Amino acid sequence: MLLRPQWQYFLQLLLGASLTLAFAPFNHWWVVFVAIPAWLYLILTNSILSVESPTAQTSVSNTKTLQIGSFGLSRFKLTFAFSLGYFGVGLSWVHVSIADFGGLPLVGSIGLMLLLCGYLALFPATLVYLLDRFIKIDAWPIFLPLGWLIIEWLRARLLTGFPWLSIGYSQLHGPLVGYFPLIGEIGVSALVVCICIMIALGFLKKSFIPATLLMLVIGISSLVLNQTKWTETSGEIVSVSMIQGNIAQSLRWTPEQDLPTMRKYLDMSEAHWDSDIVIWPEAAIPQLEPIATEFLRMLDQIATESESALITGIVNYQFESQKIYNNLLALGFDQKDANTIPYRYMHNNRFAKHHLLPIGEFVPFENVLRDLAPIFDLPMSSFTRGDFKQSNLTAKGYLLAPAICFEIAFPSQIAANLYTNTAAIITVSNDAWFGNSHGPHQHLQIAQVRAKEFGLPVLRSTNNGVTAFIDHHGIIMSSAPQFEDAVLSADIQLTNGITPYREYGDLPIWLFFITLAVSSYISNRRLLTIKRTQ
The answer to whether 22 touches 31, Cβ cutoff 8 Å, is: yes
| Per-residue model confidence (pLDDT) at position 419 | 97
Looking at residue 381, what is its pLDDT?
53
From the first residue on, what is the mean pLDDT of each consecutive set of 10 residues in the chain (534 residues)? 76 97 98 98 69 42 38 82 97 79 71 90 97 92 97 93 96 98 98 98 95 96 96 96 93 88 97 98 95 97 96 94 94 73 92 84 52 48 88 96 96 97 97 89 98 98 96 98 97 97 97 94 76 68
Q: What's the pTM? A: 0.91
Output phi, psi for 219, to 5 deg: -65, -45
Closest CA to 312 of 295, 330, 326: 330
| Residues classed as catalytic | 282, 353, 405
- Give CATH for domain 231-498: 3.60.110.10
Q: State the amino acid at position 34 in one-letter form.
A: V
**C-alpha distances in Å from residue 75, one per residue of 32, 125, 133, 292, 437:** 19, 8, 10, 57, 32
What is the per-residue pLDDT for 103?
Answer: 65
Phi-psi region of 73 (alpha: psi -120 to 50; beta: other; left: phi over 0): alpha
Q: What is the pLDDT of residue 50?
A: 42
The DSSP symbol for 136 reads -
Cα–Cα–Cα angle for 196, 197, 198, rounded to 5 degrees: 90
Of the candidates 488, 439, 428, the residue with the CA atom closest to the CA atom of residue 462: 428
List the chain domain ranges: 5-228, 231-498
Q: In what order do the strands lie in the sheet with 422-429?
A: 393-395, 398-404, 422-429, 458-462, 468-470, 476-479
| DSSP-assigned states of every residue in 217-267 | HHHHHHHHHHT--SEEEEEEEEEEEEEE----GGGTT-GGGHHHHHHHHHH
Compute the distance between CA of residue 140 and CA of residue 136 in angstroms, rounded to an integer.
7
pLDDT at 531 (0 to 100): 67
Asked whether the bond before 25 is cis by omega within 30 degrees of 0, the reply is yes
Residue 212 to residue 203: CA distance in whole angstroms: 12
Distance CA 472, CA 102 (A): 37
**Among 467, 528, 516, 449, residue whose Cα is nearest residue 184:** 449
Taking the C-alpha atoms of residue 201 and residue 526, their distance in angstroms, rounded to an integer, is 25
Residue 516 makes CB contacts below 8 A (sequence gap 6+) with: 142, 146
Q: 102, 33 in Cβ contact below 8 A?
A: no
Residue 492 near residue 458, CB atoms below 8 Å:
no
CA distance 100 to 434: 9
The predicted structure's pLDDT at residue 78 = 94
Phi, psi angle pair for 276, to nearest 5°: -65, -40
> What does the angle CA 84 – CA 49 – CA 129 come to, to the nearest 5 degrees?
45
